[in-house]
Amino acid sequence: MAASVRSLSYAQSPLLAAKTPPGRSKFIVGLVGLGFCLLVGRAVYIQAIGTEFYLSEGEKRYAHTLELRASRGRILDRNGLLLATSVSVPSIWAIPRDVKATPEQRRELARLLEMPLPELDKTLDNGSRFAWLKRQVDDELWKKIRALKIEGVYEVNEYRRKYPEGEAAAHLVGFTNLEDVGQEGIELAFEQELRGRNGSREVVKDRLGRVVEDMGPQVDAANGQDIQLSVDSKVQFFAYQRIRDAVAEHKAKAGSVVVLDAKTGEVLALANYPSFDPGNRRRLTGAQLRNRALTDTFEPGSTMKPLIVSWALETRRVTPNTPINVAPGRITITGSTISDSHAYGVLSVSEVIQKSSNVGTVKMAMQMDRKEMYDVFAAVGLGQKPQLRFPGAVTGRLRPWKTWRPIEQATMSYGYGLSASLFQLARAYTVFARDGEVIPVTMLKQNQPVQGVQVFRPEVAKAMREMLHSVSQKGGTAPQSQAVGYSVGGKTGTAHKQEGRSYAGNKYRAWFVGIAPISDPRIVVAVMVDEPTNGQYFGGTVAAPVFSQVVQNTLRMLGVPPDIEVQPQIVTRDIPAAQESF
């Protein structure tokens, strides 16, 4: 049997005995050889020629560049107290395709994140490599989420802005967004200085996002600069409280206070109500966000009268004792009648300011050329955008003098037909506090007095200070502006609100702009209350009491010694000694 197997010839098989055509054999061998050459060529290309692409694609799977966030600079008040600072807080993220969570874990995670469960499911079921779950949370929340032990959910530290003064300084300091970029206020105005420069770090990560190795030198982050403001946080807080209380007391729509240092031009306070919490801006409205002291303009009313009278004194057309006949309490200009609130008869120039006589002011204004009035208004900054590094400051309206008709020249003398912001009015009154010199203003801390532009002679400014002081005395329009221990002076204003091309009959703005102490002015304070509706609407009864309280508090904090010993007289809050004319 074995011999027969060994003697078997394979050539006897018909299948094996068939001869393969030579061409087919060569074709098959050629295909095999070509395939081998392609593989060798591909290997050479990958290993020697196209290495950059493949190396970079490989690195994408394990190498990552981590951004080292720079800490945003702090915002400080003039005394070094914090107005804004950054703190490190956890932010929660996930790798959706790696998340493994039971239905119970998902429900609890959604509850902790305050997120609807369908929204969470949509985020975690999309199969992506990265998704934010919630940014900038409290440490306690992250501890609770970490305790759920959900695979694929992680945390990373980010910076969140904190605002210790809250609502009181919100419009001044502003706020940042989630990316720590300034959006309003000082945060926006000084974005370049505050934000600093981010650094970087090249690392190797495993599939779970954990850093396992550094790949190169680290570029350190450069933290942002600190910004020290001229604002005094205590003055700011007190001013905010007083205007908030006044708005509530008079059932008003809104209110603002501006406090300037008359020596240096520094802004000591800029407060608005309604306000908001810059650290929690949910349900924030436009009314809360508006920085009214800088963005809202209005016809300044009787606060313009001191400028007209000062120019009449400057040009020696009158003296403080020059008599002006204002009887019978009205005057007609090109067919339009201008009236006083009372028919006074004959008033001195000083009494025109004290009683806030429209007729007396108009009679002085109509002796002037239109360009004279325009130049005075422009010289103190009206019709010009404040040169202030702060967003939102408006220009106001002051039409070219060539377009003024006689009646418009008359009404502009007592503040109708032009518009200004409360901040512009406060700056304009530095011309009386600085002996006729209007000074530049700043939000940054200054150490030295500043040089301004001379508008009136020093003796004119001193004479006007005495007239403004009489406004706060018996017979003036604002006895309630008196401050305990300090002499004050200022001017009331009350005006109908303009709506479209007409004036609302029952809507008013009340304000008071003044200086203190009169003997050696240190501060300028401007107060505005918008739409008081609780029975009182004159500046002398609505805004002047806020001025009084802010002056007393601010001067004490600045260490200014009292310059009078007498106590202010008791004045009935319902009926002022005199009422300003509209």
- Active-site amino acid positions: 302
Distance CA 468, CA 326 (A): 20
Strands 227-228, 75-76: pairing kind: parallel
Instruction: Tell me: cis bond preceding 517? Omega within 30 of 0 counts.
Output: yes
The DSSP line for 104-146 is HHHHHHHHHHT--HHHHHHHHTS--S-EEEESS--HHHHHHHH
The DSSP line for 243-302 is HHHHHHHTT-SEEEEEEEETTT-BEEEEEEES---TT--TT--HHHH--HHHH-EE--GG
3-state secondary structure of 28: helix
Residue with tokens 């975690």: 124
Report how far apart the first and last C-alpha atoms of the chain are (Å, whole number): 138
The DSSP line for 406-466 is HHHHHHHHTT-S-BEEHHHHHHHTHHHHTTTEE---BSB--SS----EE-S-HHHHHHHHH
Residues 6 or more apart whose Cβ sits within 8 Å of residue 286: none
CB distance 539 to 478 below 8 Å: yes
- Hey, what are 472's tokens? 């706060």
Q: 55-74: buried (b, 16+ CB within 10 Å) or exposed (e) per residue?
A: eeeeeeeebeeeeebbbbbb
Distance CA 259, CA 558 (A): 12
From the CB of residue 562, how many other CB atoms can be counted at a distance below 10 Å? 14
Q: Which residues pair with residue 527 across a beta bridge?
A: 257, 512
The DSSP line for 340-405 is -SS---EEEHHHHHHHT-HHHHHHHHTTS-HHHHHHHHHHTTTTS----SSTT----B---GGG--
Measure Cα distances from 165 to 83, 162, 259, 351, 411 in Å.
Answer: 6, 9, 17, 43, 42
Nearest to 395 by CA among 376, 375, 381, 380: 381
From the CB of residue 291, how many other CB atoms can be counted at a distance below 10 Å? 23
Distance CA 373, CA 1 (A): 138
